[in-house]
Amino acid sequence: MNPSRKLLAFAAILFSATAIAGLLPHRLYGRHLAGQVVDATTGRPIAGAHVAYLWRSTINPSGFTGHNSRDICFHAAATITDALGRFEIPPWSKWETYDVDSVDPTALVYARGYKPIQEPLFSKRGGSPAEHLDERYALTPFSGSADERVHILFFGLANQDCDWGGESKKSLVPMLKAIYTEAHSLHGSQESSKITEAIAEVAADAGLAISPNKPAADAEIKAFIAEHIR
């Protein structure tokens, strides 16, 4: 066999092995997370604040060039702060075929009347997930128009869907429902009303754990909104 054919044969074998490896289940996990949400002005704890974490990672390239890789959200976890503003997210682990690496998550923090926070966590362990047991999120009171508020609620929080999160997406529903309730109460412009409806649809998508691989489920989304969001 001439050298060029040998090279092509080796490339085909390597490509097939890489493709097969990408289909094998491997363990994805997140570490223990905990902390407190406070008012940035007074330092007082904020009870009833919503804290969510989204685990996102870039899909490992299956070809030789590494092009066309994209980020996906493969897990979500959310909770509500107690009377002292404290929250806790337990560690988790699951087996998936998504060809991504376990990484530290991005935090989403929401409380009615405050500016939302969207903040990635960073680990000193070379990219591997680490425990973060003393996170502190200081929220600043929001000042602005009703339309500005609806805009930041959607683009700062609600549109951060966990597309490939599966059943874990359901944990986001209480936060998304609270965001929808506030946005709906503001009675903004026609554009804000459309954005508010988009928030409801995101909440339904999470509650139904809809996969991006499945066709649109408009009837199910409308039914979920009517029963659980409005």
Specify if 96 maps to a domain: yes
Of 28, 160, 48, 188, the C-alpha closest to 113 is 48
Number of domains in the chain: 1
- Beta-carbon neighbour count of residue 204 at 10 Å? 26
Give the span between the Cα atoms of 41 and 61, in whole angstroms. 46
pTM, two decimals, is: 0.86
pLDDT band at 98 (very low <50, low <70, confident <90, very high): confident
The domain in which residue 200 lies consists of 24-229
Of 83, 79, 59, the C-alpha closest to 69 is 59
Beta carbons of 175 and 200 less than 8 angstroms apart: no
Structure confidence by residue, pLDDT tens digits, 20-65: 445 678 899 999 999 999 999 999 999 999 999 999 998 887 544 4
Specify if 74 maps to a domain: yes
Specify if 203 maps to a domain: yes
65: domain CATH number is 2.60.40.1120
Specify if 223 maps to a domain: yes
Share of the chain above pLDDT 70, in %: 85
pLDDT score, position 94 = 93
